[in-house]
Chain A
Amino acid sequence: MNIIWVLAGNTIRSMLRKKDFYVFFILLLLLLFLLWSETFFGIQDIVRYIKDMGYFFSCFFSVIIAIVFSARQVPDEIADKTIYPLIAKPVSRAHLLLGRYTGSLLASSLAFTLFYILYTGVVILKAGSLDPVVAVQAWIFGICSLGIVCAVSMFLSLCLTLSAAVTMSFLLYFFIMWFSTTIRKMIISAEGIKIFFTNALYYIMPHYEFFDLRVRIAHSWEAVPVSIFTAAVMYAVIYSSMILYFCHLRLKKKIL
């Protein structure tokens, strides 16, 4: 376990050394300032679009960090040949994978947390309040979503080249965010053999959209029921674990 934390710690330190996080933080700050300062037809105190856009950008910037960061963990190790001393005993390939995954997840979650603190601060200052239960749920869901993003990106980086893995991870993310509702509607209205195929597709694809609470935050809807919230978190844990298991199988077979 210590080995995993040491590897994770290295990954987090490397994120802090890189400029990505600082660039996104400043960019988010500027965007929130722009959204704050905007007035429409002389009317002030319009807040929903700030809640909406601010949450979107906080998640989006975190996802960029998660994808770019997690996708290059293993390929970088292989390219730099630093993987050879690492996988000498007692660090197994599974340890390496878990360490790098944990590091990527913690690094992107740290970035998301800081973005989210900035975002909630701006929203509270502008709107006066934010439902604390929904805010906490959105934060936890954000981290769950990053867990899946990191696992999928890492898996793709073991199957494809780095550039292809990053591109595919982004495409997959946006495809699911945009079309998952359509696929769910297809399941609801499917008949005959289509039920099997639509359900199979729905179970295979990673459900990033489960963790997008933008509408609930922006339009002040009630919090997600505890049973559904727990089920969604469990889904994130199980799905990420499964993808990591496939990563392990892939890395085990990989000739280094």
Chain B
Amino acid sequence: MHELSICQALVDQLEGIAAQHPGKQVIEVYLGIGPLSGVVPQLLNDAFSVARAGSCADAATLHIHESEIIVRCLSCGKQSPATANRLLCSHCGEWQTELVSGDELLLERVELEAFEQSGESSPAYH
């Protein structure tokens, strides 16, 4: 349910970015989402098609990069992959670990393009 709220926040941020680039619209949006962010990528995608309507991102495509869960052991110091409900060190079995990645909820990159040039023109700014 909260994916729609998050998409509305995303569209607000996109509007802010588009306002800095007059005459351009958002065509590609890249997100980084971790399994421990509490957000389901598929639901976010569905919600985006609703939230983008009538905004600067009306024609935008959402790309979601799902990050891996990596923990660092507070006992042996090694890093290892983990799953959402077992954040244990796979080297020594210790439960006291810290998260290195896996809870991201990030707007990573936005690509814009001039209005009325959809299709062949190259995205601006790289």
Partners in one complex: no
B residues near A (Cβ < 8 Å) are none
A residues near B (Cβ < 8 Å) are none
